[in-house]
Structure 1
Amino acid sequence: MSNEPSTAAEPLRICIAGAGAIGGTLAVRLAAAGHHVSVLARGKTLQAIRENGLTLHDLHGVTHARPAADDRPGFGVQDLILVCAKSQDMAGLLPQLQPLIGERTVVVPTNNGVPWWYFHREGGRFDGEQVRAVDPEGALARAVPLDNLIGSVLFITAEVTAPGVIRSVNPHLIVLGEPSGAMSERLLRVRAAIEAAGIEARATDRIRDKLWTKIIANISTNPLSVITHGTLEQLYGQPELREVVTQVMREALLVASSYGARVDIDPLTFVQLGEAMGPFRTSMLQDLERGRPLELAAIGDAVLELAQRYAVPMPITRAVVSLARFRGLGAQQQHAARAA
């Protein structure tokens, strides 16, 4: 086992809601730093954690942790909840978290794409409105008090290689920010706890800028990976795929700028950084291969919805998202047929 970072501050009570690749990575790192970590999981993952704990292979080496694990939120009120489920699973998960949330509990959703809280205290012309693609009835906004939320953008590539075993070969980075832009005490406290766990953590007063950086990376690669089965190295490196990626990026950058976001990475730098990540399969491609629903509502449909509000055309993006949806539904049907 590698030498582990430790936190000098008082340990926090932290619940990881969703123990997939990202949730498992965070659970291991935070548990190794001395925090009281519990995990909401289910199925084979829950069984594996109960029997053998979690094992993470990352740049720190091989780290093992045995967090408390259950499929019901019986862990008591938490200081911090990291919600690591897919966007399409939020409607089922968020209401379950209510017994864990106290007045001072900080809830940090980590899912990809446009978050349901995007317009909460946004300060623009759509302040307080819903993103209907991800929260059509406002159920997510009602499930967790919006004032308990801190936004996050994760730049972590990870993959579950077996139940309870995660592999992550790139550096970990998480950017945190209040929806209002305030540099609050609770924001800095959460940032410090995550940083002390061996994960680079940054606090920002412009979280939506970083959201758009990740949104652009996701929408330009995830749906296309479903169509092509290409890795990041192939999507960014092969000329015929790189051209499509770049066109989608340009369309998404126009949407970001319409909302006043400042994206400080140009398409060429995006491509260079993406290709350097190597033969990594996107999370959406991993879901396709397992016959799972694709995270297209938050990664694709929500961006198209935001584009419509400012009449920004996205013809290439719309076509790629539609093709990915067709491919994903077909994969789910095939998987269901095999399982029957």
Structure 2
Amino acid sequence: MSEQGAKPQRIVIAGAGAIGCFCGGLWAAAGHPVALLGRVRVLAPISHQGMDLTDYAGLETHVTPQQLYCSEDPVVLAGADLVIVAVKSSGTAAMGQLIAQHAPPTAPVLSFQNAMTNVVLLRQMLPGRDVRAAMVPFNVIPANLRDDAGHSTQPGFHRASSGDIVIEAGPGHWHRRISVPGLAVVESPDIEGVQWGKLLINLNNALNALSGIPLAAQLKSLAWRRVMADQMAEALRVLQAAGIDPVSTTPLPAWMTPHILRLPDWAFSRVAAKMLTIDPTARSSMAQDLMLGRVTEVEALQGEIQRLGKAHGVETPICDVVILLIRQAEMKQAGLPKMEPGQI
């Protein structure tokens, strides 16, 4: 349980994908009643077999079917003390409607989503409710065990990178209530700055998808780091023009990150050791989307910088090209493009 003697919180994960299942599983393992609201293809194996949760640092936790409630029926929202929204940006409006219809007005709603606009939309749809933004810094990938025939034998999720969840400061000390072993949660009074800092890092989601290589290998490539640095520098110019001060998600100030990325390999490996704390096989969520033939969230990432740049008269040629290349990859439905840095 998160705090000694604290009452378990009834948590509903509204949109149980990789992040939602991983966090929900750790909360359930710590004694919170957790309901996963999502699609049957994800939840059916979990409801029968439970799931294994692992991470890059050696975490190994098994959550039994009895520790979780899995459902496609939004009526499960009615029993929530806390709602965690973890759907893709394209599903925010629909989930907002379901929360408005079924969730208790007293239950806080935390958006564990990428992009800046999701929490704004949720607040518009849920007036008078405690709706807060959050930032999830780590990457989670499905890690289902399969038999020789390729059939799933045990659902699983693997956290491939590090960092603590940050939620918007507010009443109720919710960061303390939901901090559990393996999942630390902190509060910030400047969640918008934290979100912009995360968005800067998340711009690499698209580059990683275009590269076709794991994140760790991409970070070890000076050529790819230079593209990452140029894209981030472009975004920082846009934020500066808009008067936005991003809060870095790393120990280094956001403005310094492009300079660090451009360092030669030997210097980068020393200075940016924490940036390399990542599973060697991990890929970005956008890479996972392309591999599965799904529409990506590039409009919520590069698109956000593009729109802000237009509003403030700052050109964004790199983001423009990246959006175009991702859209082409989505249309081709051929998986990862496996491009070289020079092609971008």
**Residue equivalent to 1:74:** 75
Q: TM-score, normalised by structure 1?
A: 0.81
Residues 105, 129 of structure 2: 8 Å contact kept: no
Per-residue deviation, residues 93-129 of structure 1 (Å, max 9, x unmatched)? 32222344222211111111223335xxxxxxxxxxx
The alignment partner of 1:8 has SS state of coil
Distance in 2 separating the partners of 1:323 and 1:253? 22
Q: Structure 1's 33 and 7: CA in aligned 2 closer, same or farther, altered over 3 A?
A: farther
**Residue equivalent to 2:311:** 309
Aligned structure 1 segments of 4 or more residues deviating by more than 6 angstroms: none
Q: How far did residue 194 of structure 1 move?
A: 2.1
One-letter amino acid of the structure 2 residue matched with residue 152 of structure 1: A
One-letter amino acid of the structure 1 residue matched with residue 227 of structure 2: V
For residues 283-294 of structure 1, the aligned pairs below 5 Å read 283-294=285-296
**Residue equivalent to 2:157:** 166
**Residue equivalent to 2:176:** 192
> Which of 181, 185, 188 is the aligned partner of 1:204?
188
Unaligned residue ranges in structure 2 (runs of 5+): 145-151, 248-252, 262-267, 337-344
State how many pairs are aligned. 303
Per-residue deviation, residues 251-274 of structure 1 (Å, max 9, x unmatched)? 112233323324333214577344
> Which of 4, 13, 16 is the aligned partner of 1:16?
13
Per-residue deviation, residues 261-291 of structure 1 (Å, max 9, x unmatched)? 2433321457734444243200000110011
**Residue equivalent to 2:59:** 60
Q: What RMSD over aligned residues (CA atoms) do the two structures have, in Å?
A: 2.5
Per-residue deviation, residues 277-333 of structure 1 (Å, max 9, x unmatched)? 243200000110011111112112122112222222211121112111111221179
The alignment partner of 1:222 has SS state of helix
Residues 7, 193 of structure 1: 8 Å contact kept: no
One-letter amino acid of the structure 2 residue matched with residue 298 of structure 1: A
Q: Does 1:232 align with 2:223?
A: no
Residues 12, 83 of structure 2: 8 Å contact kept: yes
Distance in 1 separating the partners of 2:53 and 2:303? 33
Distance in 2 separating the partners of 1:6 and 1:147? 25
For residues 1-340 of structure 1, the aligned pairs below 5 Å read 8-58=5-55, 59-65=58-64, 66-75=67-76, 76-118=78-120, 142-145=124-127, 147-162=129-144, 164-177=155-168, 183-186=169-172, 189-219=173-203, 221-257=204-240, 258-263=242-247, 264-265=253-254, 266-267=256-257, 268=259, 272=272, 273-279=274-280, 280-331=282-333
Q: Structure 1's 197 and 97: CA in aligned 2 closer, same or farther, altered over 3 A?
A: farther
The alignment partner of 2:119 has SS state of coil
**Residue equivalent to 1:125:** none
Distance in 2 separating the partners of 1:7 and 1:112? 32
**Residue equivalent to 1:130:** none
Q: Structure 1's 61 and 198: CA in aligned 2 closer, same or farther, altered over 3 A?
A: same
Q: TM-score, normalised by structure 2?
A: 0.80
Percent identical residues: 24
Unaligned residue ranges in structure 1 (runs of 5+): 119-137, 178-182, 335-340
Distance in 2 separating the partners of 1:165 and 1:242? 31
